[in-house]
Structure 1
């Protein structure tokens, strides 16, 4: 027997907001990879963090490698946007990079995991970002605005590591910080000032004899 129609049409299924879902999955994947690295991360946990079906990860990104690369592209883009190298000013660049890493510990952890686990995997986007900065350093050296006693690529590499010198320092060294809290704002501000002074001394042109 056919039931009479109530006269009210059934609600249409809500369209999936793919952009919002992608953002949720990327945020969840970022947290997962930052905590566990590539090898330890699990697709199931990423989906659980995002409150989504794990099938969507494969639909939007592909396999685990593709998810990790998407996370790295996002991090590289945000870092490049927040830490521009203007006029070859490596001291200002280093300070901005320190600020970003201090405010985004997931980015610092991702970078550490990647150096440890994925040394042979890098994207063209990342390579181009570094090339542009190294070229900017070389131009500033030619124009006399930066010390030219070191190759541009080496000078830039040294600056990169110096910006993370406190954030990536051994725990036993951090424990020596006055006040006992290596992440306190006063400690970070003190180190930031030391960082900027170090980079200025390292990169400023040497006086000619």
Structure 2
């Protein structure tokens, strides 16, 4: 009886390599959520990899370790914040509006900043320092040109406005209940945003010189 040779099986195809940029983006996005929820100490590499749908080995390949991944997440958030909240010509009112809108739309940024202050308050980058320096310089220039109140040092005026932008978003929960409405409702947020911008206008507006004593109209 004739025999039939069995055709050799084709070798299994090697898995198509994933796009490294896309994988890194997935890992960064997953890490952002994990660190925002649990901080640096509480975050778990396994959970980050699972969130990203990636092999956790790639996390070490791309970022080194958990500390370096946390720093990469922070720097990306800082970069986005700086890009979307420019301080143009020392205009602190527009800056306050942009920063309030950004922090409202990106609550993870505020949580990451809080974890950073708690766990790594001695870590910052030269890029971040230079970004703040440029903003303080812009405020100082606007003060010299008479467009902003110059009764406070530029760095203090900027710091005050910076914190005001999160005065409601970071307010104690017990305080937010006093408003009598849902703290994050569209109406309550609109009311606070208007009050925020009015406050910034008041504290940054150039002072009108007082009329000399005894002057007549």
TM-score bracket for this pair, using the shorter chain length: over 0.9
Q: CA RMSD in A?
A: 1.5
Residues 1:4 and 2:7 are matched in the alignment: yes
- How much does 1:53 deviate? 1.5
What is residue 16 of structure 1 aligned with on the other side?
18
What is residue 184 of structure 1 aligned with on the other side?
185
What is residue 195 of structure 2 aligned with on the other side?
194
For 1:142-161, list aligned pairs within 5 A: 142-161=144-163
Query: Which of structures 1 and 2 has the bigger CA Rg?
Result: 2
**Cα distance in 2 between the residues matched to 1:3 and 1:111:** 64
- How much does 1:10 deviate? 4.7
What is residue 50 of structure 1 aligned with on the other side?
52
Higher mean displacement: 37-46 or 160-169: 37-46
Deviations 1:56-106 (A, max 9, x none): 111000111110110011101111111111111101101110001011110
What is residue 205 of structure 1 aligned with on the other side?
206
Residues 1:172 and 2:174 are matched in the alignment: yes
**Cα distance in 1 between the residues matched to 2:68 and 2:183:** 35
- How much does 1:5 deviate? 3.4
Residues 1:83 and 2:76 are matched in the alignment: no
**Cα distance in 2 between the residues matched to 1:90 and 1:184:** 25
**Cα distance in 2 between the residues matched to 1:201 and 1:96:** 18
- How much does 1:108 deviate? 1.1
4+ residue segments displaced more than 2 Å: 2-6, 8-13
Give unmatched runs, 5+ long, in structure 1: none
Aligned residues: 206
What is residue 37 of structure 1 aligned with on the other side?
39
Q: TM-score, normalised by structure 2?
A: 0.90
Q: TM-score, normalised by structure 1?
A: 0.94
- How much does 1:11 deviate? 3.3
What is residue 108 of structure 2 aligned with on the other side?
106
What is residue 122 of structure 1 aligned with on the other side?
124
What is residue 29 of structure 2 aligned with on the other side?
27
Give unmatched runs, 5+ long, in structure 2: 211-217
